[in-house]
Amino acid sequence: MTAPPERRAAAAGVSPDAPIARRADPDRFLCALFLPAAAREAAFTLLAFNHETVRALGGMQSRAVAGSMAGLIRLQWWREIIEGAPHPHEIADPIRALIAQGRVKPETLLGILDAREAELDGLADWPAWRTAMRGGAGGIQVAIAQAAGVTDPDLLKAVESHGAAYGAGGLVRHLELVLASGRCPVPDSALAESGLSGDTIRDGAPLPPDIARALRADLRREGQAFLAEAGRRRLPRQARAAALPGVLARRDFARGADPAPRGLGDRLAVMAAMAFG
């Protein structure tokens, strides 16, 4: 029997960033395995970077002491790395190398940080949420596509939409878990009618079941709109590999709340999409 992609990658001896990406972001790690080898290594670095930016958003204990400032300081530290500061970190040098080689545009990585900062500041409404989702979940897929050599603006826009859809799908699957971590990547306007706010959620207020159901319905609608914007055309191979998280998004919208690990059906769907577009 053929070994799964993850096992083949482990046996091949991948970069030091690969274990971080695999542990922290198994969905995108799986999708990255379908990239060409050189782009695959870059993708692992970018996924590790993305993980660090997400880590800056959670943690109710640090928020209780410093509010959003602790997260903003961490994000500013990464912003300085992208702008060339020699701050030490195991993925800082690989990130700086990708930028110096022209393989990833610094504006794309800064856009990811902008999205994270917007979440910390609070997403006022659905337009603000869409912008943050495009820059964050969409931006990491655009960076991966750039590392794979994709330069066409229309292709990058399609990849961004697939990535944004995946971000919405992740919230549909894991909404309560994400909110319990101290994050609030949903619009304040969607919480206000129930007397909640982003701050109360970040401070640990539970989400009423009826509000959770309504939010999931809104997130599914918004995510499906991202997929519709991406279109159904067959993408070139490098762009297709970068857009694969959109396949998982489509399945998440059909499945709804489901914190269980990915199954064989998800893996086969990704493989089929890569093979047949």
- Tell me the two tokens of residue 81: 């790395």
Instruction: Give the pLDDT confidence of 8-30 residue by residue, as tens digits.
Output: 444 344 567 889 899 999 999 99
| pLDDT (0 to 100) of residue 117 | 97
* pLDDT of amino acid 232: 86
Q: At what angle do helices 126-135 and 209-230 cross, to 10 degrees?
A: 60
pLDDT score at 11: 38
The CATH number of the structural domain formed by 17-276 is 1.10.600.10
The type of residue at 75 is: L
- In terms of DSSP H, where are the helices of 181-244? 188-192, 198-202, 209-230, 237-242
The pLDDT assigned to 136 comes to 98
User: Is 216 buried (19+), middle (13-18) or exposed (0-12) by CB count in 10 A?
Assistant: middle
Give the separation between CA 69 and CA 3, rounded to whole angstroms: 45
Cα 134 to its chain centre, rounded Å, is: 9
Look at phi and psi of residue 122 and say left if phi exceeds 0, alpha if psi is from -120 to 50, else beta. left
pLDDT score of 66: 56
Would you give the DSSP letter of residue 144?
H
- Those residues of the chain that have pLDDT short of 50 are 1-3, 5-13, 60-62, 64
Model pTM?
0.92
Tell me, what's the pLDDT at 67?
A: 64
